[in-house]
A and B are shown apart, each in its own frame.
Chain A
Amino acid sequence: MLSPYIPVFVGILWAALLAAVLIGVSLLFGPNRPTPEKRSTYECGIDPMIGDARTRFSIKFYVVAVLFLLFDVEVVFMYPWAVLLKRLGLLGLIEMMTFLLVLVVAFVYVWKKGALNWE
């Protein structure tokens, strides 16, 4: 009954195995010279926050985060489309172009309105 899923199962197993092997290999053979800088928490672009997480930070982060999320999720739609492009044919192309056009209008709007300007 579940036979169609067996390849998927094998794939998952393989991925887990591979990850474990890779991490294990780097632990075994990689150089290990810790410094205080290296041991601190990693935060992208800003000084690491220590203490209460509930502090104010710039609202610009929210705008960027929301915009990122939106465009990121919408790009995800392109993967299944790309896989099936041949079968969808010209109509599929037109549909995706329409979708992209809408996205582009929104993107240009966001850009021109200055939502991406940090200052």
Chain B
Amino acid sequence: MEEAIVFPYLRWIPLLPLIGFLINGLGARADLTPARVRRIHWIACLAPFGSFLISVFAFTKLLGLPAEGRLLTDTVFTWIAAGNFTANLTFSLDPLSSVMTLVVTGVGFLIHVYSIGYMHGDGSYSRYFSYLNLFMAMMLVLVLGGNLLLLFLGWEGVGLCSYFLIGFWYEDPEKAYAGLKAFVVNRIGDFGFLLGLFLLFWSLGQKGVWTIEFGSIQEHVHLLSPAVITAVCLLLFMGAMGKSAQIPLYVWLPDAMAGPTPVSALIHAATMVTAGVYMVARMHFLFIASDFAMHWVAWTGAITALFAATIGVCQNDIKKVLAYSTVSQLGYMFVGVGVGAYAAGIFHLMTHAFFKALLFLGAGSVMHAMGNETDIRKMGGLRKKMPWTFWTFIVATLAISGFPPFSGFFSKDEILWQSYSSHFGSTALWAVLWIAAAVTSFYMFRLVFLTFFGEPRDAHLHEHAHESPAVMTVPLALLAVGAAAAGLVGIPASWGFTNLFEHFLEPVVGGLPHGAHVSHAVELLFVGLSIAVAFAGLFLAWWFYLRSRELPERLAGRYARLYDLVYNKYYVDELYDALFVRPIRNLSEKFLWKIFDAGFIDNGLVNGTARFFQRSARSLRRIQVGDVQGYAFAMVVGMLAIIGFLLL
């Protein structure tokens, strides 16, 4: 490891939003005067903007360093010290976390600004902004944390903010339930994640290295046996599956759309849900050491990408379509990191942050105009009414569908190419993603055509529709620039440019594990195939939703079973409910409490034994069996067990 450079401003990146949270959270007042409202959003927006400026500053400082020595650290104090083990509160910035920090603060700031317009007039204005700031602080801790413990702190923190913001409008029980669902599903993932941490910690400790710092874990990873590494990777990835909504733990994300739309944009599209991808990239040295784990990650990602994309085709709620699209795009990122193309995965993460945030904010703008209507079947013809929203939405759609030269094209193409050519890749993997790309293009253009083109389907709603205020459209425009141009930093080498992005990340995540050498011509052929499916999707959507509009209905009628299956999201929610939710409730309520504690001990064991004695010895007939006796009996049983154990 190169000697790290101390950069004491790093702590302010998460600290500024935290201060914003404290001011707005503790100073909350019920009566919102215009002056107070202004003060709330000024504080809330300035905090992430300050973080953004520091991140840019740190980034330029990083660029000024030699490629191998690009690491800034800031140790605030020793957090936990036990024996020969210490965990410091250390923030560290390397190219990987630098990219993440810039995305989080940059996109985050724009979404804060947009929220001023979107949340205007909400009764819980300060609560909203304080949660949002807290989220920023936690996400930045996650990204900047120099050890696993800080990463975990941020991991849990963003989760909490997410639950609170999903259930933000808790007056609606369905929305509060969505928050709970997100919480429950994530706990399952987090449990695996924690186990992975412990296993890693312990097995390194067995070799005499008690550490949780990323740097020293990387140094000592060769001490671990392959089986342990695979187990650790799979457990850690379980956490990623929860947080980044991969099969089978993706079910919470579509429901998470119950929160305010800017929240969906920031947390459930651009930043938090990508934490799993970041974590895998951060722990790349572990994953790369286990072929099985790599294949597992890649295939989980690929199957999720296709599966979620197909669900997206049949959804009619504008936010649900985008949610399934997010799940699907996260799948792409996991394929990227799963085939060892970490730079490609993170690259897609970055471009996705731009275009998906833009899509959500555009959707929010549409909902704003339509009086919170989310059903795309009631929209249509909004192109003229909301030009800003429309054009920015088009940019984002072109980006996500992979049309050159928009950002999504470069990043997705890179992942597609790597999924074929990398050491961990295969034709099958590529084919799954390729089909998914076609589906993506189809459902995105379906969304665009239904929302913005054609005739208005609901005249009343259409009449009231209007363009959003500048405070919302300006962030849209800025994000659109990002969505259009962000891809330019990662133009593949086969085009004759230097892939700047890959070069920047290379010192952290290492170069690509090269498979069979393939010529540039083949690579260009694959690029052509990618572009072709994007156009195919566009064409199909045009045919179905603008040209012959009765066709979808007819197809849905003809393949009713299949349509029902996809429309109901493959009944996964119902399956989970029957398999897990109800049995666990029953176990707790009916068995452990009523039967075990109250029933088994009191009635079964105690009374049963009493009956035994009654039958066997008539002289003990009058034995009294009540509460206290039952309790004492349990003690005696425990006592006999202990003494029996000690004596035998």
Task: Give yes or no for direct A-B contact (beta carbon below 8 Å).
Answer: no
Residues of B within 8 A of A (CB): none
